[in-house]
A = this chain, B = another copy of it.
Amino acid sequence: MRMRFPCATLAMAAPSWEDSVKSLKGVILDMCGVLYDAGEDGGIPIPGSVEAVKRLRASHLKLRFCTNETQSTREKFVAKLTKMGFDISVSEVFSPAPAAVAILKERGLRPHLLVHDDVVPEFDSVEKTNPNCVVIGDAAEKFSYQNLNAAFRVLIGLEKPVLFSLGRGKYYKEDDGLNLDVGVYMKALEYACEIEAEVIGKPAPMFFQKVLDDMGIPSHEALMIGDDLVNDVGGAKECGMMGVQVRTGKYRPSDEKHPTVTADGYVANLAVAVDTILKLGGQ
C-alpha cells in the first residue's frame, strides 16, 4: 500500500464541473428523465428541455444522445421525441439494440429474444433459429413467469450459457410510479444460471466509447448529463468523462450520498445545466 503525504493542493477545493466547462467539446444527453418523463401516451417533455436541446445544437459543442431505451426501434423512438418538439435525428441516437446486433453478427450468435415487441424489428437481420444465447431488454409486461422461464431454459441447456442484457438499470419512472428495469431480470437469470451477463448499453465503457469515437473527441472533453447516477454518471466517469446528474426523472435525494458514485455536479434540470455550460463555456 502506497501512502500519500499531504500537499498544498489538498487545501484547495475540488474543482467543480463548472470549472471544467471551458474545455468542453461535446455533450452527451441521456433521454428519458432528462428530456422527457415517460408516460402512457409516450411521455411529456421536462420543462425547458426542448429549448435546451435547441441551444446546445446552436452552440459549438458536439451533441449526441445515449439511451438504454429498448422499448422501441430508434426510428420510432426519435419520431416520438420529434412529436414532443425535440430536434433530434436517428444517427445521433445511440441505443443498445443496434449495438447488440453488431456483436451477435460478429460472434456468430443466434439469440433467443426476451425484449419488448416494439424493439424486435431491430433484430430482423439476425438469425434466431436454434438459439445459442439469450438477449434480454426492457420487456416490461412481457417479463411474465413463462417468458422468463423460457429464457432460463435456453440458457441452462447451453454448455456455456451466454446472456446479453440491454442495460443494467434497476428501475425507471413512469407517470404511475417507478417500474422495474431490465437489470433486475438480468440479475434473476444470472443467479439462476450462475453466470455473469454481458451488458450492452450504459454503463458499459465500450458503449460510451462508441459515442466518443463518433464525436471524434477524447473523453475528458466530453460531458454526460443523466438522471441515473450509476448508469449515466458512473458509467461516463469510468470512461474519463465528466458526469452531471439532473434532479429530474428517477433522481432521488439519496443519490447525492451514494457510497461509490459521486457526480461532478447536481443540477435542477437540463435547462439549468445548459445555461451553465453556455454561460461558462463562452457561448
Residues of A within 8 A of B (CB): 139-146, 148-149, 152-153, 156, 170-171, 177-180, 183-185, 187-192, 194
Q: Are A156 and B178 in contact (CB under 8 A)?
A: yes
Known A140-B145, A170-B191; further 10 A-B contacts with Cβ < 8 A: A141-B144, A143-B144, A143-B148, A152-B171, A153-B177, A171-B192, A183-B192, A184-B188, A184-B189, A184-B191
Q: Would A192 and B184 count as touching, CB distance under 8 A? A: yes
A178 and B191 contact, Cβ closer than 8 Å, known pairs A141-B145, A145-B140, A145-B142: no
List 10 A–B pairs whose Cβ atoms lie within 8 Å, in order of A's numbering: A141-B145, A141-B146, A143-B144, A152-B171, A170-B191, A170-B192, A180-B188, A180-B192, A183-B191, A184-B188
Q: How many protomers of this protein does the assembly include?
A: 2
CB-nearest residue of chain B to A181: B192
Q: Pick from B152, B188, B194: contact of A188, CB below 8 A.
A: B188
A119 to chain B, nearest CB (A): 16
B145, B178, B191: the one within 8 Å of A144 (CB): B145
CA distance A189 to B141 in the complex (A): 17
Majority secondary structure, A binding face: helix
Measured between alpha carbons, how far is A140 from B156 in the docked complex, in Å? Answer: 18
State A144–B142 Cα separation when bound (angstroms): 9
Chain B proximity of A182: nearest CB distance (Å): 11
CA separation between A152 and B180, bound complex, in Å?
Answer: 8
List the B side residues contacting A191 at CB < 8 Å. 170, 183-184, 187
* A188 neighbours in B (Cβ, 8 Å): 180, 184-185, 187-188
The minimal Cβ–Cβ distance linking A279 to chain B, given in whole angstroms, is 36
Chain B residues in 8 Å Cβ range of A183: 191-192
Closest residue of chain B to A148 (Cβ to Cβ) is B180
Q: In the complex, are the beta carbons of A152 and B140 less than 8 A apart?
A: no
Across-interface contacts of A194 in B (CB, < 8 A): 170
Out of B156, B178, B187, name the residue touching A152 (CB < 8 Å): B178
Complex CA gap A185/B187 in Å reads: 9
Q: Which of B153, B170, B171, B177 contacts A178 (CB 8 A)?
A: B153
Alpha-carbon gap, A126 to B139, bound state (A): 35
Cα–Cα distance between A177 and B150 once the two chains are bound (Å): 10
Measured between alpha carbons, how far is A149 from B179 in the docked complex, in Å? 6
Instruction: Name A156's contact: one of B142, B148, B171, B192 (CB within 8 Å).
Output: B171
Report the Cα distance A145→B147, complex, angstroms: 11
Query: How close is A33's CB to chain B, nearest CB, in angstroms?
Result: 16
A171 to B193, CA, bound (A): 9
Closest 10 CB pairs of A and B: A187-B191, A188-B188, A143-B145, A184-B188, A184-B192, A170-B192, A141-B145, A187-B187, A149-B180, A152-B180
Given the complex of chains A and B, what is the CA–CA distance between A187 and B197 in angstroms? 14
